[in-house]
Amino acid sequence: MKNEKIETLKGLTLKELEEFFLETGQPKYRASQVFNWMYNHVVFDFDEMKNLSKEFRHNLKERFTLQTLQLLDIQSSPSTQTKKFLFNTIDGKKIESVLIPEGERNTLCISTQVGCPLDCKFCATGLMGYKRNLTTGEIVDQYLLTAKEVGKNKITNIVFMGMGEPLLNFENTLKSIEIFTHELTKGLSRTRITISTAGIANKIKELTEKNYRIKLALSLHSPFEDVRNKIMPINKKYSLNENLIALKEYALKSKTRITFEYTMLKGINDRLEDAKELARICSKLPSKINIIPFNSIKHMNPTGISAELEPTPINEIHKFADRLRNYNITVMIRETQGDDIAAACGQLAVKYN
Ligand code: SF4
C-alpha cells in the first residue's frame, strides 16, 4: 500500500473506500469488509477484523486509526433519562451528543460543528462562536460511540440538531447520512433521520435537486421577517420567505412533512398575531409545529437582546398551542429534556471550549 495522507478510515463511504483500496493495489472487496467492520460491527481495532489477513491488518494499523473521538463523560438526567455524551476531538475540542428518550423512540441529537457561526440570540452554542466543521468521521463516531455504550438498537432516530448548522457542513453531513443508512450497516432508514436547519435556503434547494428523502426541520422561532432578523441574523441572508419557498418544493418532491421548531420567547413570538401568522404559513405546505420551552442562557452572561430573553410561562405555551390547534395545525409541545444536565436544546455550549 502507498503511504497516503489519510489518517483515519472512519468517515469514508463505501465508494471512497473502494477507490482507496483499488488505488493502493488491494482488491475491491476489501472495502466492503472494512466498511462492515467499522460501521456495522463497530470495531475500533483493526485486529478485530478477523476476515482480513494478519499482514493486511498490520499494514492498516501502522497507518490509520479507527477512532476520531474519545468519550470523556456521560451524564444522565435523573428526571428524564436523557443522556449527554461529552467527546474530545483529536485536536482537543469538546463536542456533545444527547440521547433523548420519548416513549418507544430514542433520538440521538448529533453535532456537526464545534460551536456555530450563526449567532442565534437564544442559543448558548451561538453565543460560544464558531471553531470549525466536524469531519464525517467525527459525526459518525458520535453515533458509533454512543451505540457502543447504550446498544445500537437503543438508537431509533437521529436528528442533526446539536452544536452547529448542518447545512453549513453540507458534504460531511450528507456523507454521514450515507453511512448511517447504507444497507451494509443495517442502520437507520432515511425516514428516521432529520436535519434541523436555521434556514440555508440554497442548500435546501440542493437537497430537492438531489431528490434527497430525509426529514427536514426549520428552526422558525418567529413567523415575521423583522423579528427573525433580530433573533436569527442568518435571516438577513436567507429570508424566511425564500426558505419557505424552498421547503415547500422539498416537501412536495420528497413527500415529507416539514417540522417547524418554535422556541417560545415571552413577548417576542407568543402573541396572538404570531399564532395567526404561523397558522397562515403552515397552511401553505405539509407541516407541523414543534413547540420548545426556552431554556435560560443567563449562565452565559449574554448581552444585548440575548440578555432580555425570557421563557413564555408553561400555561401560556399551552394556550398558544391550543390557538394553533384551532386552526387545524398539528402541534407538539416538547417536554424540556435534560435541562438539569445542561443537555436541553440551545444549551450545548460546552464549558470546556
Ligand atoms: S440555534 Fe442552531 S443554528 Fe442557531 S446558533 Fe444555535 S446551533 Fe447555531
**Is 123 part of the annotated catalytic residue set?**
no
pLDDT at 270 over 50: yes
Contacts of 91 (CB under 8 A, 6+ apart): none
Are 14-63 and 69-341 in the same CATH fold?
A: no
Q: How far is the CA of 286 from the centre of ligand 1 (A)?
A: 24
Q: Which atom of ligand 1 is nearest to the CA of 165?
A: 3
HSE (side-chain half, CA atoms, 13 Å) at 135: 18
Give, in degrees to the nearest 5, the angle at Cα 301 between 76 and 128: 65
Taking the domain 14-63, which CATH number applies?
Answer: 1.10.150.530
Indicate the average pLDDT of the chain: 91
Tally DSSP H helices, then E strands, for the chain.
12, 12
**What was the pLDDT predicted at 349?**
47
Would the CB of 120 count as within 6 Å of ligand 1?
Answer: yes
Query: Cell digits for 123?
Result: 442559543
- What whole-number distance in Å separates Cα of residue 161 and Cα of residue 178? 18
99 three-class SS: strand
Is 345 annotated in the active site?
Answer: yes
Mutate to test the pocket of ligand 1, among 109, 125, 353 (most ligand atoms within 8 A of CB): 125
Domain ranges of the chain: 14-63, 69-341
321-336 burial string, b = 16+ CB within 10 Å, else e? bebbeeeebebebbeb
pLDDT digit string (tens) for 98-150?
A: 999 988 899 999 999 999 999 999 998 888 889 999 999 999 999 999 999 99
CA angle 28, 31, 35 (to 5 degrees): 160
Residues 299-324: tens digit of each pLDDT: 778 899 999 999 999 999 999 999 99
Q: State in Å: Cα 198 to ligand 1 middle.
A: 7
Q: Is the CB of 345 under 6 A from ligand 1?
A: no
Distance from the alpha carbon of residue 126 to the mean position of ligand 1, in angstroms: 5
Is there an atom of ligand 1 within 6 Å of 95 CB? no
The correct answer on CATH 3.20.20.70 for the domain covering 69-341 is yes
